[in-house]
Amino acid sequence: MTQDDWVVYMIEASDGSLYTGITTNITRRFRAHLTGKSGARYFHRGRQPVRVVYTEKASDRSAASKREAAIKKLPRLQKLLLVRTLLMSEY
């Protein structure tokens, strides 16, 4: 993955919820969420980011944004199935 590759990601929060976002650098973005500096307000309300549970490459920012929106509209169960599918493909 190059610096210009866009990624859609999901982070598991300390309350078990899933946060979805996009970035070109998942490590930097996760650190931003952890420190609260330029991280999402989602993590400013008592939730803490625990771990990245899902990543998906996108061809450009537009495609990443569209996929992010589509994932955010999914019911929780379908989001969990995406995570599970990723985990299964790693083996």
pTM of the model: 0.88
Domains, the chain, in order of start with CATH, read: 6-89 (3.40.1440.10)
Residue pLDDT, tens place only, 71-87: 999 999 999 999 988 77
pLDDT band at 91 (very low <50, low <70, confident <90, very high): low
DSSP structure class, residue 90: T
Residue pLDDT, tens place only, 6-35: 999 999 999 999 999 999 999 999 999 998
d(CA 13, CA 61): 24
